[in-house]
Chains A and B, each alone.
Chain A
Amino acid sequence: MNVLTRPSREQLTAQGQWLALLLLATALHVLEASLPSLGPWFKPGLANMVTLVALALLGPKAAFNLALWRVILGSLFIGTLLTPTFIMSLSGAVAAAIAMLLAHRLLPCLSLVGVSLLGAMAHMLAQFVVVEQLFIQQAAIYLLLPVLLLLSAMTGWINGALASYIAGRIRHA
């Protein structure tokens, strides 16, 4: 006979934190979409900062799920679900999450700043590959890649530092 066990207090706390982070990440995703564009395909990646906080506080599985669900929920709110914008966001977020989880696991010498840096670069690379393969089919778009990688490195570094600071504050709260 199956007996339903009550979740422990720690499990409930973790689930509550995950949900709060998901709502925050979705709100930042929607906010970023409504901000004036800083350049073609370039966003500051504020929502990715929340994925990093989830990685530091709740672990890799929670961080990956959060990255996936915030793109789906965010796209529902801004009305881009299943459009090219959604596919670009999803590919970027999944690539960034995988790169960050692997770096977090395999490169313990890196702090969240380095992990975020790799995630930002993976995000941009994945978007270019998806656009070139699915939507534009022109290798010429790769001419934009170096400039956008430089901007990604900058925002990835800053977001990583902020995520590290916020995760530290939450841990000690």
Chain B
Amino acid sequence: MNTWHDRRTLLRHLLGRPADRFLLVLLLGGTMALWLTLRTFVADDRPMVEVYHHERLLAIYPIPEGSEEIRFIAHGDLGPSEILISGDGARISSSPCQSKRCVLSGTHKHLGDIIACVPNGILVRIGSARAGFDGIAE
């Protein structure tokens, strides 16, 4: 009886008040609008992998076709981060940061995807091609 009452009380809390539900709808609507707005800035082009250290662009590579694999070492605040770029996309394969969240986030290949290693100040972004080059690296 008591457990049943507890469940009902918890369910009542989970439903929230009407003002809570209104706020949720408002915030979800705002988030969707933000997402659609941001997507319009991402051009529908050939994906390129851009590697940054803070605001400095270190390298741009196209996502290769076939089995080719590009290995790039980005020197960050803590040390070198290794970035692997293949037909599957780009990933950070090793990093000197403590949490390794950047490594665990896996491979990304869609336009607008990013991998950020905050402690090391390294950002890998899948952007769109602006010119037909094979790759630029510092």
List residues of chain A with CB under 8 Å of any chain B CB.
37, 39-41, 80, 83-85, 88, 107, 109-111, 113-114, 117-118, 121, 131, 135-138, 140-147, 149-150, 153, 157-158, 160-162, 164-165, 168
Contact = CB atoms under 8 A, between A and B. Distances in A.
B24 A110 contact: no
29 contacts: A37-B99, A40-B102, A40-B105, A83-B98, A110-B19, A111-B19, A113-B16, A113-B17, A114-B17, A114-B24, A131-B118, A135-B119, A136-B54, A136-B116, A136-B123, A137-B55, A138-B54, A138-B114, A138-B125, A140-B125, A140-B127, A143-B114, A145-B38, A146-B34, A149-B34, A153-B28, A157-B14, A160-B16, A165-B10
B17 to A, nearest CB: 5
Contact of A153 (B31, B38, B115, B123): B31
Given A117-B23, A165-B13, A84 B119 contact: yes
A137 B116 contact: no
A41 B101 CA distance: 8
Q: Which 6 A-B pairs have the closest CB atoms?
A: A146-B35, A114-B20, A113-B16, A137-B55, A109-B19, A161-B13
B16 A114 contact: yes
A152 B54 CA distance: 26
B27 A107 contact: no
Among A39, A131, A136, A145, max chain B CB count under 10 A is at A136
Given A141-B114, A161-B13, A110 B121 contact: no
B9 interface: yes
Contact of B20 (A80, A85, A110, A145): A110
Interface string B92-106: 000000110110110
Contacts of A131: 116, 118
A141 B121 CA distance: 12
B32 interface: yes
B14 A161 contact: yes
B11 to A, nearest CB: 9
A80 B18 CA distance: 40
Contact of A161 (B16, B99, B119, B123): B16
A40 B31 contact: no
A164 B13 contact: yes
Contacts of A114: 16-17, 19-20, 23-24
Given A140-B114, A149-B31, A161-B13, A80 B98 contact: yes
Nearest to A115: B20
Contact of B17 (A39, A111, A143, A153): A111
Given A40-B101, A85-B99, A118-B23, A141 B10 contact: no
Interface in B12-67: 13-14, 16-17, 19-20, 23-24, 27-28, 31-32, 34-35, 38, 42, 52, 54-55
